A and B are shown apart, each in its own frame.
Chain A
Amino acid sequence: DGGITQSPKYLFRKEGQNVTLSCEQNLNHDAMYWYRQDPGQGLRLIYYSQIVNDFQKGDIAEGYSVSREKKESFPLTVTSAQKNPTAFYLCASRGVRVSTNEKLFFGSGTQLSVL
């Protein structure tokens, strides 16, 4: 079945540690996105990538980094510079069509907590 796989489902970070969240899609989508969800604040965009080897900062990129070496994969690293990393992280992807704005498909999310 085609879809987006995020792993792990739960992740714990120690102080000063970098952690990486995985996002893989087999939908052959060009664009991929990372969102952060905090209670009562909706989803906020961290980074996005419309093509391999290229990515753009979203609204809250500080303390995060990404890479896009393969079309299928868009891992997100939460660095020690992110002082409040506890949140639910959602990865999404979409196909590209010139004439319309396709919907985003979402993964099932990763809950990151600080120990």
Chain B
Amino acid sequence: AQKVTQAQTEISVVEKEDVTLDCVYETRDTTYYLFWYKQPPSGELVFLIRRNSFDEQNEISGRYSWNFQKSTSSFNFTITASQVVDSAVYFCALSGDYNQGGKLIFGQGTELSVKP
């Protein structure tokens, strides 16, 4: 069975601090995809990144970076120099091949609060 665990329920930081959101996943598939989404107070989920299981390259996009490690089944997300606008709930998600329905399995989410 597939499972995603985000052990951090809530994180609070002060603006300009770096923060890492943890994500651990379980799957027996050899081909799978990992995602991060941001959910601001408005409720709509905003796509941040997708990674496939064959690409372990870390990625940086502005203040965001992602560390994918298959050896530890982790896909962690770091925000550098956090800002108040980063306050949101962040979800890590996992899916198998599209022939499995293309559905995403979500973690419980981490609520990030960035204080000025």
- Same assembly: yes
In the complex, per-residue mask of A51-71: 1 if CB is within 8 Å of any chain B CB, else 0:
000001010000000000000
Min distance, Cβ A65 to any Cβ of chain B, angstroms: 18
Residues of A within 8 A of B108 (CB): 40-42
- Of the listed stretches B14-22, B64-72, B80-88, B94-102, chain A binds B94-102
A108 with B104, Cβ < 8 A, contacts A100-B52, A101-B95 known: no
Residues of B within 8 A of A56 (CB): 101
Contact partner of B9 among A40, A92, A105, CB < 8 A?
A: A40
Q: Which residue of chain A lies nearest to B98 when distances are taken between CB atoms in the complex?
A: A101
- In the complex the two chains form, what is the Cα distance from A55 to B101 in whole Å? 10
A45 with B98, Cβ < 8 A, contacts A103-B47, A105-B47, A106-B44 known: no
- In the complex the two chains form, what is the Cα distance from A56 to B46 in whole Å? 25
- In the complex the two chains form, what is the Cα distance from A12 to B92 in whole Å? 30
Q: How many residues of A contact B (CB 8 A)?
A: 31
CB proximity to A under 8 Å, residues B13-52: 33, 35, 37, 42-47, 50, 52
Residues of B within 8 A of A92 (CB): 45
By Cβ-Cβ distance, the 3 closest A-B pairs, closest first, are A106-B45, A109-B43, A43-B106
Q: Report 13 cross-chain contacts, Cβ distance below 8 Å, ordered by A residue.
A: A31-B101, A48-B103, A50-B101, A58-B103, A92-B45, A100-B52, A101-B50, A101-B52, A101-B98, A104-B47, A106-B37, A108-B44, A109-B44
Additional 16 contacts, C-beta under 8 A, given A40-B9, A42-B91, A100-B52: A33-B104, A42-B6, A42-B109, A43-B104, A45-B105, A48-B101, A50-B101, A88-B43, A94-B102, A96-B102, A98-B98, A101-B50, A105-B47, A106-B45, A108-B42, A111-B43
